[in-house]
Amino acid sequence: MLAFVWLTVITALRVLGRNRLRAGLTMLGIIIGVGAVIAMVSIGEGAKQAVQKQIATMGTNVIMIWPSYMTIGGVRGAQGGAVTLTVADALELKKRIPILSETGWLIRSTMQIVNGNRNWNGPVHGVSPSYVTIRDWSFSSGGSFTQTDMESAARVALLGQTVVENIFEPGEEPVGAIIRIKNVPFRVIGVLSPKGQSVQGSDQDDVVFIPFTTAERKVFGTLFLGSVGGVFVSTERTEDLVDAAEQIRQVMRARHRLQGEQPDDFTIRTQVEIGKVQEGTSETLTVMLMIIASVSLLVGGIGIMNILLVSVTERTREIGIRMAVGAKRFHILIQFLIEALTLSVVGGCIGILFGVLAARLTTVIAGWPTIISSDTVAVAFVFSVVVGLFFGLYPANKAARLNPIDALRYE
Amino acid sequence: MNPLIVGEDIWKVYRVGDVEVQALRGVSVTIEQGEFVAIMGSSGSGKSTLMNILGCLDQPTKGQYRLNGVEVGQLRPDQLAEIRNQQIGFVFQSFNLIPRTSALENAQLPLFYRGLSLKEQRTLASAALQRVGLKGREHHSPTQLSGGQQQRVAIARALVTSPSLLLADEPTGNLDTESSQDIMGILEGLNRDGMTVILVTHEVDIAAYASREIVVKDGQILSDRATKGRSQVVGA
């Protein structure tokens, strides 16, 4: 049996080798199909992982609460245009909702940051120490500020990588240096590790953190003390996020005295929700890829079936001879199935090669991240085997069911 | 010893469109092992149909056909294929070699379907080719061989399994006189070594090689008689 299969494979290769152009054109469908799938899935996977990395930079199990629009007399104001979120809100949340593990808040502004003769205009965030923890910021040098710094409104700053690059000479140590923010001197106590782009596409490393109290009292000149630009909370477990978000909403509505139909004057977003939006996008992409893949594999498969039907007709007499000397239906069936499989598997392998090459080129030329997983390659291979089997079965069966006398007489 | 072939009242009826064609109408024939039989008849006489049935390529519509004591009439296609593989060797008018395939591989073909190892296939096929005088041509493809040589490859393919029956359908129909004599000489030699040979032909001088002559006409046996047979002449 093994000898039979082996010799049949050799025969199939010889037959296909005789009609190289024909075999090549037949395989083209499979090559293009499999190649396109591999390339596109690699690009899709690369994009997906990049987005997941960005989502992870938000922190772990984070819920964000932003001040919302205020509608006054039918005129809708800008987001955060009114004082609707305060430090007191944040503290109340922590007190009332036990599943929250951390609560932090921030206030944002854009300011001139000066070091010696260099300066930079960038976002300055006044934050509570817990905010740095919630967002999972780590330090490339130095460390975070403490609750004591917060209470004493200390003039200390944490610098993001982009800011460091713009106001310090290469090789200059920022920690310990004195910089000025809106002419107020600050001592740099930590440099943040880079996070890269946010999900929205902004540079997360273009930032300076100073204690919240310092910001509102000494730098920003806030109109209402205790008003914040956003509250960040986190939970211990990811499963608690939805529940926590709902509880936050209840507490906030009660605190803000919102009645029945009145809309929320705040917006709650969980990390899971943002992830889902991105997953939805990549799922649409995956479905489209599947459709493209199915269509091209279908076309490739029909090509194989077509050429095999031609081959069966051309070789009717040969089939008759084989039957006359004792080939059973099974032998003829296997012979043509193996021919179909050889076409589809060789085509599939070339397709995989092209796909991997295309993905690599995309990374090199366009700079898009691509991930070629062994799963994708395996699935592509299995698919080409299945296509060969499926579309080879009809012609092979047709050959096997020939009547030996008619086949021998065929001109 | 049991007869090799016992056919009793064999009928073969085809339908071509609405027309019913009775190719064989009650043929009964018995052939002993070791015989050299010529089946003669003009085209359309039913001799090809008879040969297809005797060769297990086809089955009778009615009647019985026993080959080596096995009733063939009710067998399934795969069982027929197995009988052809084990017991019958075919030689056709148009050689019917597989194109672009070497003489050796053509001769190996029945052994391939018998499931022998590649080495056994090669050994037996080489021996068969040597027997028909084609030593040294094992790796020639059919187009590189003359008609007579191609027919010898076909004979080698037929005898490689040491079948009990060799069926030759107009084996010399596409050959010149000299090659015809060669081929008939080989068949004669095989018969002398004990193989049963059935020869289908319409040429009298080819039929003269056989020791028994069956004439078929309109689907029935017209005459069935022993002839002197050249082998006996040569032997005597």
Per residue in B12-33, pLDDT (tens digit) is 998 888 899 999 999 999 999 9
Overall domain count for chain A = 2
Asked if pLDDT for residue A168 goes beyond 70, the answer is yes
The pLDDT value recorded for residue B233 is 45
Which chain A residues are Cβ-neighbours of B157 within 8 angstroms?
325
This model of the complex carries an ipTM of 0.94
Asked if pLDDT for residue A257 goes beyond 80, the answer is yes
Q: Indicate the SS3 state at residue A264.
A: coil
**Residue A183, amino acid:** N
**Residue A370, amino acid:** T
Contact between residue B152 and residue B186 where contact means Cβ atoms under 8 Å apart = yes
Domain of residue A226 covers 83-264
The pLDDT value recorded for residue A72 is 61
Look up tokens 């107009």; give the residue. Answer: B170
Same domain, A144 and A31: no
Same domain, A395 and A255: no
The pLDDT value recorded for residue A39 is 87
The pLDDT value recorded for residue A220 is 85
Asked if pLDDT for residue B1 goes beyond 70, the answer is no
Residues B201-232: pLDDT tens digits? Answer: 989 999 999 999 999 999 999 999 998 765 54
Spans of all domains in chain B: 5-235
Cross-strand partners of B67: B5, B70
Q: How far is Cα B152 from Cα B229, in angstroms, rounded to an integer? A: 22
Put simply, the answer to whether B81 touches A18 (Cβ < 8 Å) is no
Same domain, A234 and A132: yes
Q: Which residue in B58, B100, B112 is closest to A18 by CB distance?
A: B100
The pLDDT value recorded for residue B74 is 87
- Contact of A318 with chain B, judged by CB distance below 8 Å, is answered with yes
The pLDDT value recorded for residue A222 is 67
Count contacts between A and B (CB, < 8 Å): 63
**Which carries the bigger pLDDT value, residue A239 or residue B36?**
B36
* A78 within some domain: no
Among A220-234, A280-294, A347-361, the least confident range: A280-294
Q: Which two tokens mark B153? A: 């490859």
Interface test with A, best of B85, B86, B106 (most A CBs within 10 A): B85
Q: How far is Cα B85 from Cα B113, in angstroms, rounded to an integer? A: 8
Instruction: Calculate mean pLDDT across residues A151-167.
Output: 93
Same domain, A133 and A247: yes
Q: How far is Cα A213 from Cα A149, in angstroms, rounded to an integer? A: 9
- Contact of A7 with chain B, judged by CB distance below 8 Å, is answered with yes
- Torsion of the alpha carbons at A77, A79, A81 and A84, rounded to the nearest 10: 110
Measured in angstroms, the CA of B234 and the nearest CA of chain A are apart by 32
pLDDT band at A277 (very low <50, low <70, confident <90, very high): confident
Decide which of A264, A287, A318 is a domain's last residue.
A264
Contact between residue A66 and residue A266 where contact means Cβ atoms under 8 Å apart = yes
- Yes or no: is domain B5-235 CATH 3.40.50.300? yes
Asked if pLDDT for residue A44 goes beyond 90, the answer is no
Instruction: Calculate mean pLDDT across residues A160-185.
Output: 92
The pLDDT value recorded for residue A70 is 60
Same domain, A88 and A215: yes
Q: Which two tokens mark A205? A: 């490393």
Asked if pLDDT for residue A325 goes beyond 80, the answer is yes
The pLDDT value recorded for residue A279 is 74
Instruction: Calculate mean pLDDT across residues A110-135.
Output: 92
The pLDDT value recorded for residue A265 is 83
Nearest to B67 by CA among B23, B114, B11, B2: B2
Cross-strand partners of B215: B40, B223
Tell me the HSE value of B221 on the side-chain side, using a 13 A CA sphere: 18
For B78, name the nearest residue in chain A, comparing CA atoms only: A328
Q: Indicate the SS3 state at residue B26.
A: strand
Distances (CA, A) of A338 to A298, A310, A319, B76, B81: 19, 16, 15, 25, 21
The pLDDT value recorded for residue A196 is 86
Decide which of A264, A299, A334 is a domain's last residue.
A264
Same domain, A139 and A185: yes
Instruction: Calculate mean pLDDT across residues A374-391.
Output: 92
List strands edge to edge, sheet with B70-71.
B19-31, B5-16, B62-67, B70-71
Handedness of CA A354, A360, A364, A369 (dihedral sign): positive
Say how far residue A52 (Cα) sits from the centre of its chain.
5
* A187 within some domain: yes
Which chain A residues are Cβ-neighbours of B154 within 8 angstroms?
none
The pLDDT value recorded for residue B236 is 34
- Contact of A327 with chain B, judged by CB distance below 8 Å, is answered with yes
Q: What percentage of chain A exceeds 90 in pLDDT?
A: 50
Residues A355-373: pLDDT tens digits? Answer: 999 999 999 998 888 888 8
Q: How far is Cα B34 from Cα B62, in angstroms, rounded to an integer? A: 27
Q: Indicate the SS3 state at residue A258.
A: coil
Residues 196-215 of A with CB under 8 A from B: none
Put simply, the answer to whether A408 touches B57 (Cβ < 8 Å) is yes
Tell me the HSE value of A402 on the side-chain side, using a 13 A CA sphere: 29
- Contact of A13 with chain B, judged by CB distance below 8 Å, is answered with no
The pLDDT value recorded for residue B235 is 38
Put simply, the answer to whether A329 touches B78 (Cβ < 8 Å) is yes
**Which carries the bigger pLDDT value, residue A48 or residue B138?**
B138
**Residue B226, amino acid:** A
Q: Which residues contact B236 (CB under 8 A, 6 or more apart)?
A: none
3-state helix, strand, coil in chain A (%, to 5): 55, 20, 25
Q: Which residues contact B39 (CB under 8 A, 6 or more apart)?
A: B47, B50, B51, B198, B199, B200, B201, B214, B216
A20-56 and A271-314 helices, crossing angle to 10° = 170
Q: How far is Cα B207 from Cα B95, in angstroms, rounded to an integer? A: 19
Put simply, the answer to whether A405 touches B90 (Cβ < 8 Å) is no
* A207 within some domain: yes
* A65 within some domain: no
Measured in angstroms, the CA of A401 and the nearest CA of chain B are apart by 10
Which chain A residues are Cβ-neighbours of B99 within 8 angstroms?
318
- Contact of A326 with chain B, judged by CB distance below 8 Å, is answered with yes
Rg for chain B (alpha carbons), in Å?
A: 18
Decide which of A264, A297, A330 is a domain's last residue.
A264
pLDDT band at B81 (very low <50, low <70, confident <90, very high): very high
Interface test with A, best of B16, B54, B96 (most A CBs within 10 A): B96
Nearest to A253 by CA among A274, A267, A233: A267
Same domain, A42 and A179: no
Q: Which two tokens mark B205? A: 């001088």
Asked if pLDDT for residue A346 goes beyond 50, the answer is yes
The pLDDT value recorded for residue A59 is 82
The pLDDT value recorded for residue A55 is 82
**Which carries the bigger pLDDT value, residue B54 or residue B234?**
B54
Return mean pLDDT, chain B. 91
Q: Indicate the SS3 state at residue A81.
A: coil
Contact between residue B152 and residue B158 where contact means Cβ atoms under 8 Å apart = no
